[in-house]
Structures are given as structure tokens and as C-alpha cells.
Amino acid sequence: MKFEDLSLDKSVLEGLAAMNFREATPIQEKAIPPILKDKDLIACAQTGTGKTAAYLLPLLHKLVKKGREPREINTIVLVPTRELALQIDQQLEGFSYFLPVSSKAIYGGGDASSWSEQRNAIERGVDILISTPGRLIQHLNMGYVKVDKVEHLVLDEADRMLDMGFYDDIMKIIKQLPLKRQTLLFSATMPHKIRKLAHKILVAPQEVNLAVSKPAEGIDQRIYFVFDEQKIPLVEKLLKESDFESIIIFTSTKKAVNDLHKALKSLGSQVKGIHSDFEQNEREEVLRLFKNKQIRVLIATDILSRGIDVEDINLVLNFDVPHDGEDYVHRIGRTARASTTGVAITLVNPKNQQRFFRIERMFDEPLKKINLPEELGEGPEIQTPKAKRKNYAKKSKSKQKRKFGSKNRQPRNKAGNKRSSSS
């Protein structure tokens, strides 16, 4: 479906045309009409499906039709991370290029000047405020944030916000908003806790569910079974012998980021690490360098698996197996975007084999297993779920034999003496 078929304002369509956006994605096609009709919405959609535009475009349309109200916040978008707040603000700048609409991203981690800048923007008046929950609570507590005229509330990546412990902050914010408002909840997954939240804060919502998305067809997925001590040597070899120009390596711990950064730096690679201990300005600088292709390899914890929007990433490497299928799709979805191709490599140690096989069950066929280079030695035995059940059965049978003895062995009494058949 073309955007011009979605009844959007002409000025919104001009902005889309300038950005060369012509065709709506499935989530945009399904979400925009009910939002334009002022319906509350609960939408299940993955990162990379165009969900940000799915709510921004109809909200921009409404703002244009309504006209600018000075010094009033019309829309609040709550997000889990600073990176996502910045990304949404950047997209909003593009979409609203021809519109008299203002926006501001507010988040923690900056210095005193960034706080003052955020406060000044809020006090001057802003149409769309994009914020992490904790930071908005801090500004609300100061008494100068007027939210009594808010007409739209968006919760983006709601599941992530709940996982990060923002439930109480979200409810505190909602209690200060007008009861009569439009609430839009976007989530990559739809567990019970999200349903419960939706029931509390949405009114007769329409539902859009795009099912759990599979990775893009252009992703070449490769799996290595490794011992932990083989991981860094394998990564070094893969990067040394490949011509990938833009690479993200995801790890599960800050320590792994630091260790890997140290190891790859010794190769003279253009490599930087990033995790939650970094100051906000440091993180923004690293991301800027990576986006501008001044860094070849970015090593990150899961903080970047959602929300980062970088073009032309050739390789995503999972140094650790993601926690679940959703996270796996989010991570490898950083490559092969917009109909391009890319490679996703996952390193599976013995501890995480069963977690990997749970993820693999999402796919129609097994993922491609690659043998380790000879110089790294043999990898661990692959304990598929079937093989694990067989091993468990063998161990269980062996235990029973030890416990009860063989069939031909005569039972013993409590003193350990053999009992006769007459006893």
C-alpha cells in the first residue's frame, strides 16, 4: 500500500516523498488507520519493521490538522533507552521537515548543561516529548512540566521497559496525564505482563499483531559450537580473514566487551567497545564514529540490540547466545536491512547449547553449523535435545542398576544378608 492511500495530510506526504518513502510496511498499513480514528492501540511489532513511523506519521497528521498550541505538550513517547529516544527524535525531524511541529528527546546520563537544555525546551513548549521514564519523572518532580493537555501517549518497546524495571515510573507518569487521551502501546513481544499493563491503561484498544517476525531472508546465519577459550581466537581469525566493513559484536556482559576490545585492539583493528558504564557523551561519540564508518568493529552489550539504526552493517556476531528468540531476531536484524544482505554468526558454548536449540526451533529448518578452523582444535560435543534425552536415559538407567542391582541378584535384608525365598 502506498502512503498516499492512508489519508495522511498533504504536508506529511511531502516529507515522506522528500525522504523517498513510498510504500507503507505491514505495521504501518495496519496501525495508521485506527490511530487516525483516535482508537487506542496495542501493537506487536519487531524493531526494523517501521513501527516508529507507524505511530509518528498519524500523530503528525493530527498535529497539523489541530494547529499549534504554544507552551503545551501534545504527545509523550516513552522509550526504554537514550539511544532509542535519540533515534526517534532524528526520524521525527525528517518526517516533520515541512511541518510546524517541534520535538525534544530527554534522557539521563548527561551533564548539568543537558539538564538545563531539556528544561528550557520543556518550558518553551514542545509538541512531542520523547523520554525515558526515569528522566521524565525527574522533570515532573520539579513542577514545571505541564502534562494536563497531553492528548497522546505512546509506549514504545513496552516489554523492554518492563524488563528494565520501569513499571512504577510508567504508572506514576500515567496518573498525571488526562484520562481522556489516546494511548498507543508497541511491544516486540506480548507476554502476560504486557497484556496486564494494556488492560490497565488502554480503553477498548484495537490490536495489531504481526506475529513473531523471522530474520530477513538476506541474512546468512552461521553457527559455531565452541569452548569459551576458543571464542576470542575464533573472532580474531574471522575478522582478520574477512572483508566485512561494518561489524557489530554483541556480548552478554560488560567484562566480555572489555576483554574482547583488548584482544581485537592488539590486531590494530578499528574497534570500540560500548556498554552502560560509559558516560552518555562517550556513547554518543562512539555511535557517531560507527555510523560514519570511522570504526569498523563495535562491541556492545544488549543495550544496542534494539533501537540502533545504522545502515550497511555487514556482520552481526553473537559472542554469547541471546537469551531468547526475540533477542536473537533483534540482534541479527541489525544487518540485511532494507533488502540488503548480511551475515550473522553465533558462538555457542556447552552451557548455552540448549538455549540455542530453543531459539533454532523458531526456524523452518536447522541453522547452518560451521566447523571450527583446524588450528583451534576440536569444539565441544553437540548435545542436541534428542541426544541430551538419550544421555539422561542412559544415566538414569545406570543409577537404577546401581540402586536396585541386577535382576538376578537376590534381595537383601536390612542387615545386608541375602534373604531366602521363604523369608
* pLDDT, tens only, 192-241: 889 999 999 999 999 998 765 567 778 999 999 999 999 999 999 999 88
The answer on pLDDT for 390 being more than 50 is no
Residues 195 and 223 in one domain: no
**Pairing state between β 297-300 and 219-225:** unpaired
Nearest CA-CA partner of 301 in 314, 320, 315, 287: 320
Which one has a higher pLDDT value, 15 or 235?
235
pLDDT of 264-276, one tens digit each? 887 776 899 888 7
pLDDT for the residue 281: 80
Which one has a higher pLDDT value, 362 or 65?
65
The answer on pLDDT for 413 being more than 70 is no
* 413, part of any domain: no
Q: State the chain's mean pLDDT as an integer.
A: 84
Q: pTM for this one?
A: 0.60
CA separation for the pair 388, 317 (Å, rounded): 27
* 263, part of any domain: yes
Nearest CA-CA partner of 123 in 165, 173, 70, 83: 70
How large a percentage of the chain has pLDDT more than 90? 49
* 405, part of any domain: no
Query: Which backbone phi and psi does 140 adopt, to 5 degrees?
Result: -60, -40
Residues 144 and 224 in one domain: no
Which one has a higher pLDDT value, 86 or 392?
86
What the block records as the C-alpha cell of 32 is 495508521
pLDDT for the residue 402: 45
Residues 65 and 133 in one domain: yes
Residues 65 and 153 in one domain: yes
Do 329 and 323 contact (CB within 8 A), yes or no? no
**Which of 209, 230, 257 is the last residue before a domain boundary?**
209
pLDDT for the residue 343: 94
* 394, part of any domain: no
Residues 228 and 248 in one domain: yes
* 292, part of any domain: yes
Confidence band (pLDDT; 50, 70, 90) for 308?
Answer: low
Residues 318 and 338 in one domain: yes
CA separation for the pair 344, 221 (Å, rounded): 5
Facing residues of 44 across strands? 187, 209
Residues 263 and 338 in one domain: yes
* 343, part of any domain: yes
Which one has a higher pLDDT value, 206 or 397?
206
Which one has a higher pLDDT value, 217 or 75?
75
The answer on pLDDT for 416 being more than 50 is no
The answer on pLDDT for 251 being more than 60 is yes
pLDDT for the residue 396: 44
What's the whole-number mean pLDDT along residues 320-333?
80
Residues 283 and 176 in one domain: no
Residues 104 and 18 in one domain: yes
Residues 161 and 293 in one domain: no
* 399, part of any domain: no
Nearest CA-CA partner of 307 in 27, 41, 48: 48
The answer on pLDDT for 334 being more than 70 is yes
What's the whole-number mean pLDDT along residues 129-145?
95
Residues 76 and 203 in one domain: yes
pLDDT for the residue 409: 43
Lowest mean pLDDT among 198-207, 332-341, 381-390: 381-390
**Which of 209, 242, 274 is the last residue before a domain boundary?**
209
* 70, part of any domain: yes
Sheet with 75-78, edge to edge strand ranges: 103-106, 128-131, 75-78, 152-155, 182-187, 41-44, 206-209
The residue range of the domain holding 306 is 219-376
Residues 141 and 171 in one domain: yes
CATH number of the structural domain spanning residue 23: 3.40.50.300
pLDDT for the residue 339: 59
Q: How many domains does the chain have?
A: 2
